Amino acid sequence: MRDNRASEWRLVDDERRDIVAFFRSLTPADWETLSLCSGWRIKDVAAHLLIDEPVQAGMLQRVLPMLVRGDFSVERANARWVEQNRQRTSESITKCFLEDNQKRVGILGHVLGPGVALRALVIHHQDMRRPLHRSRDIPPERLLATLNALITWKGSISVGSRDRARELRFRALDVEWSHGDGPDVCGPGEAIIMGLAGRPAALGDLRGAGKAILQSRLP
């Protein structure tokens, strides 16, 4: 079991390294481009990743007051964090992301596990890449781990993926993965991930009799 967890955390580390490489490739204009997250620039999503990571002892002092002021709404806490960091430089965000990576596993990481951490990273990585038309080949191991995380109750927290998947059959065309019973929704694993995460931009890459049902469940 411990070996499996270590292997799963390795996937998180690999995704973080890919995100850092992506950050380093961005131009100033890229950082200001709107992401798939409503109202958030790519820079805002990047700053959000600094709060979405496993909670360290020092970070707990930053997160809890925001949760209290937002009546323990994760969405309000996220919005407050992003607003507080809107003027942060891209260099500062990248540097802090690297520093957090070195401390990676904290209280929240141990509670929710690597699958939840990975699905957050993969989804937000694509939230930043898709508007820039910067496609990538997500390694199959990470695709499978993220798809599997999204259909668990922990992986669905704050995403709503289990409700979107209800009574539909999802089938990835680029990896050996399927889930559920009902009308089909087929496509690349990345598009299924983004569809389950509530991103309408992924619909163009999906097909099947269940696509219209999935679309009706998106924000």
How far from 82 is each of 6, 30, 69, 85, CA to CA, in Å? 31, 18, 15, 5
Residues 149 and 195 in one domain: yes
Residues 156 and 78 in one domain: no
pTM comes to: 0.85
**Pair (8, 69) in one structural domain:** yes
State the CATH number of the domain containing residue 73: 1.20.120
Looking at 115, 132, 149, the residue that finishes a domain is 132
Same domain, 101 and 6: yes
The tens-digit pLDDT sequence of the chain (219 residues) is 455 667 888 999 999 999 999 999 999 999 999 999 989 999 999 988 886 544 444 444 555 555 455 444 557 766 676 677 677 889 988 988 887 655 554 455 566 788 998 999 999 999 999 999 999 999 999 999 999 999 999 999 889 999 999 999 999 999 999 999 999 999 999 999 999 999 999 999 999 999 999 999 998
| Whether 70 and 101 share a structural domain | yes
Statement to judge: residues 102 and 31 lie in one domain: yes
| CA-closest candidate to residue 138, choices 122, 156, 116 | 122
**How many degrees, rounded to 5, is the angle at CA 4 between CA 168 and CA 122?**
50
Domain total in the chain = 2
Question: What is the domain extent for residue 88?
Answer: 2-132
